[in-house]
Structure 1
Amino acid sequence: MNNKTHHKNRLKYYLEKILTIPSPTGFTNDIMNYIKTELDNLKATFTITNKGAIIVTIKGSEDDYQRTFSAHVDTLGAMVKEIKSNGALSLTPIGGYMMTSIDGENCIVETLEGTKYTGTIQTIKPSVHISGDEARELKRTPQNMEVILDERVNSKADVENLGINVGDFICLDTRTIFTEKEYIKSRYLDDKASVAILLYAIEYMLENKVTLPYTTNFFISNYEEVGHGAKASIPENTKEFIAVDMGAPGPGQNSSEYSVCICAKDSSGPYDYDLRKSLIETCKEHDIDYKIDIYPFYGSDASAALGAGWDVKAGLIGPGVFASHAYERTHMDALLATLNLVIQYSLKK
């Protein structure tokens, strides 16, 4: 792949767009509509599943043996669990994250009618000047966290009069930053970095009229964070299912923020051995920087597909993302390496 600057610019274009559209699991209509618009502009062929996932198909020379890559647009977030008597909102988390990672975070609460209200997630004892050590030592659990609305509300009735209700979605500020040295810092790089990669891979293949040996599908999943994103609706001729999700660098791990990470095993068990070997061989053949790793507390759309009984060879790859499920960071080199692997493996017979 030539013209590295162009590839970076297009990846940044897609990533900037999708990171600005809130999409906690169950609240993905807006981001899916954006993706449909981009795919229409590319004149891509796609279908919509009953659950709202998008499947893009690029025909290859052989149709009976198909490859499917997946990435998920749904993210962590929260919902209103209770409207308190003082006008604060208790919350219930969507997805698995440490409550410490959202302490003091700005957020938006959106009603069923589409009205948006800003607020801040705080503990129930947010001030050391009032609570002292009790504030410092308070355990960060959902029961001890609440949303303080940027509205003059002092009662449950005040909040209800705004149209806010139990079940409304709470979307966290992503605080997205692209640094001069090509680091990307943001919430929800898991897995919007990979969605940007697949969108640009589709663009690249269509604009360059790439001839693929096998029909290749791109499954944009919208329920991955709650475990059932790819349990259904995978194209029936899929023989290889490759989840493009994040790698997880950290203490004791082999993953890197500058490489594509290839998962050998996660909490669901080992991924397909032959497929992993083929992905690694592709990296070696095309000088793609890669790392192999094992993640003890991790599941993917590929493991969801296996758990649902799909008879596929499953793999997991993705850019290394530091501080996963918190305020995350990666580097453009990891996105480029993952993009290169997706394209080069798609060309592999």
Structure 2
Amino acid sequence: MEPDIRIDADYLVACLKALLSIPSPTGFTDETVRHTARELERLDLEVVLTRRGAIRARRPGSSKRPARGIVSHLDTLGAQVKLLKPNGRLELVPIGHWSARFAEGARASIFSSKGIYRGSILPLKASGHTFNDEVDTQPTGWPYVEMRVDAVAASQADLAELGVDVGDIVAIDPAPEFLDNGFIVSRHLDNKAGVAVMLAALEAMNRHGVETPVDTYWVFTIGEEVGVGASSALVADIASLVAVDNGTTAPGQNSSEFGVTLAMADQTGPFDYHLSKKLFELCQEYAIPVQKDVFRYYRSDAASALEAGHDVRTALLAFGVDASHGYERIHIDALECIARLLVHYAASQVQIERDAEEVTVGLKGFTRQKMTDAK
């Protein structure tokens, strides 16, 4: 393999724009699955879909085991109709965990039995000409917003006639902006940016003719935002799983919108010592900027895989996001850096050969963690 890998930033951005244009709140992911599967096939990968649409794409290596898995999620935040209100508007509940503060003023689409309707999510007291200062003093939260449908709807009966019903999915417009200085601002960068990073890494591997010592599985899940994630998308050959997702650049965090943010722990506990160490050392070897962070209120596909009982080593590579789960901002630099790291990781030699077996007898080949005093 060449000493370094060039990521096609134009391809990465094109992938991200295409993904952002396809609504995919959890529970409504079929079309983004179709789009991603077709792109993976174009990149010459063997694509397998689970019943509900999680994607597992295999890129063959010299050996089947211990295979490596790399995972992002296709689903995004959104909302769902909770109630048809007497005033012809809709009460909503969130899909995934996000604040109603970021819902206020959003444009959105409702997927009804009779077609797609457009609308706006508004606070209950939206008009300053009517409510004066109450527009600023009313409480914040999902019970205090409603969706105004852009159709003739002044009653529950009108909404029912339109085909709008309880449980209908609501997709929030991403409103993306791609700035000349490399910044990208949009909703749903979590985790459509992660998917674009993985596709860009695969494109670079094909273009550079990268061969890998073991099979790599490129996994795309459809329920991460509600905690399901990679619980049912893996195969037994996969011994290590690297998740690609957002990191938070909020105060008190060490994440950055530039370079790779290597997460050392999230709310479920520490990531795998050996896998995280390997990723950090690859960044050092190939001069990829990297910083470490710990997330208190965060979980990813890696957590769902472990909770489902998969005995895999896990790690998390994050691109720094400002205002996560809101109007998010990232920088193309972080996406390119993570894509480069994924290529080098996939091409690197296996260090823990024992991982090829799910269970072994005795300690032969088992890992060590240094316990000597620092000097």
Fold similarity call, TM over 0.5: yes
Match of 2:59 in 1: 58
C-alpha distance in 2, partners of 1:86/1:172?
22
- Local SS of the residue matching 2:217: strand
Per-residue CA deviation, residues 188-238 of structure 1 (Å, 9 max, x unaligned), is: 111110100111222222344321011100100110001111111302111
2:167 aligned with 1:167: yes
What residue number does 1:158 align with? 158
Alpha-carbon separation, structure 1, partners of 2:230 and 2:337: 24
SS of the residue corresponding to residue 16 of structure 1 reads: helix
d(CA) in 2 for partners of 1:322 and 1:278? 27
Match of 1:96 in 2: 97
Q: CA RMSD in A?
A: 1.2
Distance 2:62 2:220 in 1: 23
CA deviation digits over 1:272-295, x for unaligned, max 9? 111111000000000001110001
CA deviation vs aligned residue, 1:232-262 (integer Å, no higher than 9, x gap):
1302111111111111111011110012111
Displacement of 1:102: 1.2
1:3 deviation in Å?
4.8
> Against the structure 1 CA distance between its residues 3 and 206, is the aligned structure 2 distance closer, same or farther, given a 3 Å change threshold?
closer
1:101 and 1:296 mapped to 2: Cα distance? 21
Tell me the distance in 1 between the aligned counterparts of 2:230 and 2:28: 17
Amino acid in structure 2 at the alignment position of 1:162? L
Give 5+ residue unaligned stretches, structure 1. Answer: none
Contact 1:302-1:316 at 8 Å conserved across structures = yes
CA distance in 2, matches of 1:286, 1:120: 47
Secondary structure class of the residue paired with 1:181: coil
Residue 2 of structure 1: CA displacement? 5.1
Q: 1:245 is paired with a residue of what secondary structure? A: strand
What is the rounded CA distance, in whole Å, between the counterparts of 1:39 and 1:2 in structure 2? 20
Aligned counterparts of 1:284 and 1:160: Cα–Cα separation in 2: 59
Distance in 1 separating the partners of 2:143 and 2:156: 18
**Cα distance in 1, alignment partners of residues 209 and 338 from structure 2:** 20
Shift of residue 322, structure 1, vs aligned partner: 1.1
Number of the residue aligned with 2:222: 222
Scaled by the length of structure 2, the TM-score of the pair is 0.90
Report sequence identity in percent.
Answer: 38
Distance in 2 between the 1:333 and 1:229 partners? 26
Counterpart position of 2:257: 257
> Match of 1:255, as an amino acid?
S
Query: What's the secondary structure of 2:160's corresponding residue?
Result: helix
- Give, in whole Å, the separation in 1 of the partners of 2:224 and 2:113: 23
Matches within 5 A, 1:1-349: 1=4, 3=6, 7-113=8-114, 115-349=115-349
2: CA distance between counterparts of 1:140 and 1:40?
A: 45
Q: So what's the TM-score if we normalise by structure 1? A: 0.97
Amino acid at match of 1:156: Q
The answer for unaligned runs of 5 or more in structure 2 is 350-375
Aligned length: 346
